[in-house]
Every structure is written in structure tokens, then in C-alpha cells.
């Protein structure tokens, strides 16, 4: 099933609502039939919330029916005339919306409350919500994915297929110059590959794009604001000499994106694999939240790139924050180095992680039998590594480096959290003071209850700071060793204080 090819530029030259009307009458009915055929109990969901064929095609954006969790509210919005009537998402409850209409002196339009399909399926269907990726692939998923492209190297002829079978409406392969408005268009479930957005003015209003193929998309010498891409495929996204303000890339995938010579403000990369290289960019308020289950080594590398970009832009505070997170995920990668360093552990088998297997089973992606099989393979892989005279020292080296990095994080936050050193010092002083308190008989101080606590704290402080007045001294050999270890810890901690605060000025 596919949407016939039409000239993409003819769609962009349409007014927004005329374009949405065309989709409601042409390609969205085909998309609805495809979903009924492919998605588990999709027809039951439509019937439960009273979403008929006409209403399905008039919800803008269409992706609102699938994204998010909890109940949502859609309200009808009349545009110009009755035939241009669409339902748009309202980020409020039904009561709040009705109250707002009364305050504005407006009649309350027809509204629809519903639960997004994927959230509904997760609650109602459990493990039965998964469906096959395509007819030739036994992999099972519970979300949309673009996984087939034809003539992808020819911008004018390339086509993107949803779930391998449905060729979506082609809107890419063209260049959008000034005064082509983007806001308000229903750009969900579309083929936006090789779309080039140029020049400065593309209209007011926010732009929301869900579940579309946006490979090789280019922003060139343009000014854009309030864009949100959600669960889009964005391979080789390029931004050149542009100003992007208030952009969100949520759960998007993509390789080798590049941002260069651009100004970025309030740009977020959330829970996806899309993360660009930044070259000569001015950046302000960049947010990155890695996807759960993503490789710690990959996340560490992405924070490294953010840190380098922040340093290049002179953002010292941000560079410090990103360096801390870079080291934190680097430490996590050391805890399970097998998958990240296959050449160092060439024993064959499943080098994955048990928590990942447990998470996949809990989500319902794999059966209990498959989870047990995967866990057994991982256990055998680790057993072969740790019983090999050649590989065991390598694995032990990674574990020791991980332990060292963990201590470094706790004590002083890799030099980026110097105030932690004082907390560490207070803990050490309190610990040694407790030792002196309970073993006061082995010290040359008054063991009476009245002064023992004060003297123990006093001795711990002057020993830790290596002042050593000599008025209280150890009387036994093992107490001398205890005092010596506290002095060593004190010297080391004072050195960290100097290094930590010096480190803060390196950016």
C-alpha cells in the first residue's frame, strides 16, 4: 500500500489549511486502513473513543493520536469555512478548556477525549501489543519505524516506507525559500527526505512533526523557531549558518548529523540516538538526555562533543557540567567493557548486559524463555572471560579502573565538584574521632566522660590537618599507625582541595 507520487512543491505552495484538507481527503484515509491492518486491535481502539474515518483524518497533527501518555483533549477549530474544520490538541483538561471558552465569551466547540493508542495498547494488550516489523522480518516492535527507502540517493525520486510496506506522502526533495509557511501544517507520517529549508522567514506558529522520515534534511542560512521533531528518522541532518531557537528532537534517530556556523538557543536532544557534531556554533541552553539503555560509551562520547563545543563557544560553566557527565558515563562503560571492546575479549557469544535483558523482558519485547536463554549466554560469556588466563587480567583491569573512577566521583566529582572534598574530610574526621573516643585509653588524654568527646574531635582535627601540637599522643603501636593513616588522608585531601579549585579555572 502506498500514497501515489505527486509534485512535492505543489503541496508547499498550498495554504496550510488547504494542504491539511487535501491530506484529509487523500492520503490519510489510506494511512488509517493500513493501521487497521497492521496494528493490534487498532479498530477496537478507534471504536472505544469514537474516532471514525472522518474524524481520524481531521486531527492535526495525526501523530497526536499516538504520542504521549494519559488522556488527551482535542477540540474542533473552524478555519475559514466548514469544510476546513480540524481537531487540534489542547494541553489542558476538558474542564479547563470549557472554563477558558466561557471567559473568552466563546461557545464551547466539539471536543474529543482519548488515550493515545500506544499507551492504551500497553495497558490493555500487554505483550500482545507487539507487531511484526514487516512481512520479511520476524522482529517485533511496539512503535512506528521507517525501514525501507527506494532511490534514496536521488532527492527527486526517493521514497520512504513506514513499517516497510506503506510509502508515505512525499514532501521532500525540494527547496523551501522565503515565505513558504510551515506552521500549522500536518507534516506527520510524511516523507521529508532531502528537504532544504532556506532564507529567513517561514511564517509564525509552532511546527510539530511526528513519525516522519527526515533523512538528509538541510537548514541553510535560515531563521527558525519553535520546532518539535518526535520519533523521526533524521540521518545526516545538516544545519549551516542558521539560527535555531526553541528546537526539540524527541526520541529521534539518526547518524552523522552536523551543525556548523550556527546559533543555537534552547535546543534539546531527548531520549534518542540523534546527536550532531558542532562546528563553530554559538550555543545557549542546550539540553541532552540520553535514551534509557543507550551504550554508556556512546553517551560519554556525546557529552565529550558537547563539552568541546561549549569550550569553543566560551561557555565555561556548561563545559564543566558536560565534562562531569562525560566522565560519569565513561565510568559506567568500564563496568561492562565486553560489548564496547570486542577485540579485547574475542571469546564469542553474547557480550550484552543482564539489566538490558531484564528490561527487554519487562517491557514485553522478548519472552521469558528468550530472556533465560540470553541470560545463560551472557553468563557463559563472562565465565569464559574470567577463567581465561589471558583475558581475566584485562577484565580485572577494567574493573579496577571503574572502581578508581567511582572513588574519584564520590570524593571530588572528577575535579568538577570540589565542595565534595569538604564532605569527605568531615566524614574522615568524624570516623577517626569515633575511633579515638572508643580507644581513649590508648591515647595520652583524660579518659573521663566529660572531656573525652571534645578531645577526640580535637585530636582528629589537628591530626587530619597535620598541625600536630603534641599535647595528645598515641601510646600504642597500632594507635600510632591509625594516627598516621589519618595524617596521610589529610595531606591527600588538602591536595585535592587545591587541585579541585584550580581545576575550576581551566575552562
SS (H, E, C) 138-163: EEEECCCCEEEEECCCCCCCCEEEEC
Q: For residue 503, what pLDDT is reported?
A: 62
Q: For residue 449, what pLDDT is reported?
A: 65
Q: For residue 501, what pLDDT is reported?
A: 66
> What would the DSSP string read from start to end of 71-128?
-EEEEEEEESEEEEEEEEEESS-HHHHHHHHHHTT-PPPPEEEE--HHHHHHHHHGGG
- Count Cβ atoms within 10 A of the Cβ of residue 4 and give its class: 0-12 exposed, 13-18 middle, 19 or more buried: exposed
Question: Using omega within 30 degrees of 0 as the cis cutoff, is the peptide bond preceding 61 cis?
Answer: yes
Q: For residue 151, what pLDDT is reported?
A: 85
Strand partners, 218: 196, 238
- Give the count of alpha carbons within 13 A of 26, CB side only: 15
Q: For residue 435, what pLDDT is reported?
A: 92
The Cα-based distances of 322 to 255, 262, 390 in angstroms read 21, 20, 36
Strand order in the sheet with 166-167: 146-150, 159-162, 166-167
With cell 529521534, the residue in question is: 252
Q: Domain 418-503 adopts which CATH fold?
A: Helix Hairpins (1.10.287)
Phi first, then psi: give them for residue 249, nearest 5 degrees. Answer: -115, 100
Q: Say how far residue 388 (Cα) sits from the centre of its chain.
A: 37
Q: Which contacts qualify for 422-430: CB closer than 8 Å, 24 or more apart?
A: 422/497, 424/493, 425/464, 425/490, 425/493, 428/464, 428/486, 428/489, 428/490, 428/493, 429/457, 429/460, 429/461, 429/464, 430/460
Query: Which residues, given as ranges, of the chain have pLDDT below 50?
Result: 80-81
Name every residue whose Cβ is closer than 8 Å to that of residue 193 and which is 6 or more positions away in sequence. Answer: 149, 152, 155, 158, 160, 172, 173, 213, 214, 215, 216, 217
pTM, two decimals, is 0.83
Q: For residue 78, what pLDDT is reported?
A: 61
Amino acid at each position: 500500500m502506498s500514497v501515489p507520487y505527486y509534485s512535492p512543491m505543489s503541496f508547499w505552495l498550498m495554504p496550510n489549511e488547504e494542504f491539511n484538507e487535501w491530506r484529509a481527503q487523500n492520503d490519510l484515509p489510506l494511512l488509517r486502513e493500513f493501521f487497521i491492518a497492521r496494528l493490534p486491535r487498532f479498530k477496537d481502539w478507534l471504536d472505544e473513543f469514537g474516532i471514525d474515518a472522518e474524524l481520524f483524518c481531521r486531527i492535526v497533527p495525526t501523530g497526536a493520536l499516538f504520542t504521549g501518555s494519559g488522556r488527551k483533549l482535542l477540540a474542533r477549530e473552524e478555519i475559514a469555512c466548514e469544510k476546513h474544520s480540524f481537531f487540534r490538541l489542547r494541553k489542558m483538561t476538558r474542564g479547563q478548556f470549557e472554563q477558558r471558552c466561557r471567559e473568552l465569551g466563546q461557545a464551547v466547540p466539539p471536543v474529543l477525549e482519548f488515550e493515545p493508542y500506544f499507551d492504551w495498547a500497553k495497558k490493555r494488550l500487554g505483550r500482545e501489543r507487539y507487531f511484526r516489523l514487516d512481512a520479511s522480518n520476524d522482529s517485533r516492535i511496539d512503535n512506528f519505524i521507517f525501514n525501507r527507502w527506494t532511490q534514496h540517493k536521488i532527492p527527486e525520486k526517493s521514497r520512504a516506507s513506514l513499517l516497510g510496506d506503506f510509502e508515505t506522502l512525499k514532501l521532500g526533495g525540494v527547496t523551501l525559500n522565503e515565505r513558504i509557511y510551515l506552521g500549522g501544517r500536518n507534516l506527520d507520517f510524511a516523507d521529508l527526505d532531502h528537504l532544504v529549508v532556506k532564507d529567513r522567514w517561514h511564517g509564525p506558529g509552532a511546527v510539530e512533526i511526528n513519525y516522519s522520515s527526515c533523512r538528509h534534511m538541510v537548514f541553510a542560512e535560515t531563521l527558525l523557531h519553535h520546532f518539535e521533531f518526535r520519533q523521526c528518522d533524521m540521518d545526516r541532518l545538516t544545519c549551516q549558518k542558521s539560527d535555531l531557537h526553541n528546537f526539540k528532537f524527541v526520541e529521534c534517530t539518526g547518524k552523522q548529523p552536523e551543525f556548523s556556523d550556527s546559533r543555537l538557543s534552547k535546543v534539546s536532544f531527548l531520549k534518542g540516538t540523534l546527536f550532531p557534531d558542532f562546528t563553530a556554533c554559538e550555543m545557549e541552553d542546550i539540553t541532552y538526555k540520553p535514551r534509557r539503555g543507550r551504550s554508556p560509551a556512546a553517551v560519554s562520547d556525546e557529552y565529550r562533543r558537547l563539552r568541546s563545543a561549549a569550550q569553543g563557544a566560551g561557555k565555561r560553566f556548561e563545559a564543566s557540567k558536560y565534562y562531569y557527565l562525560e566522565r560519569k558515563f565513561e565510568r559506567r562503560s568500564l563496568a561492562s567493557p565486553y560489548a564496547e571492546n570486542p577485540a579485547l575479549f574475542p571469546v564469542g557469544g553474547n557480550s550484552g548486559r543482564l539489566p538490558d535483558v531484564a528490561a527487554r523482558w519487562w517491557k514485553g519485547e522478548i519472552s521469558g524463555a528468550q530472556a533465560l536463554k540470553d541470560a545463560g549466554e551472557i553468563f557463559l560469556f563472562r565465565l569464559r572471560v574470567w577463567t581465561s588466563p589471558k583475558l581475566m587480567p584485562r577484565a580485572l583491569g577494567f574493573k579496577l579502573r571503574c572502581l578508581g573512577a567511582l572513588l574519584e566521583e564520590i570524593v571530588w566529582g572528577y575535579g568538577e565538584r570540589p565542595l565534595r572534598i569538604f564532605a569527605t574530610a568531615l566524614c574522615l574526621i568524624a570516623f577517626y574521632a569515633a575511633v579515638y573516643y572508643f580507644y581513649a585509653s590508648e591515647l595520652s588524654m583524660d579518659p573521663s566522660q566529660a572531656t573525652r568527646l571534645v578531645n577526640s574531635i580535637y585530636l582528629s582535627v589537628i591530626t587530619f590537618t597535620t598541625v600536630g601540637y603534641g599535647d595528645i599522643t598515641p601510646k600504642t603501636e597500632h594507635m600510632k599507625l591509625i594516627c598516621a593513616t589519618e595524617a596521610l588522608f589529610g595531606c591527600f585531601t588538602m591536595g585535592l582541595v587545591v587541585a579541585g579549585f584550580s581545576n575550576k579555572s581551566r575552562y
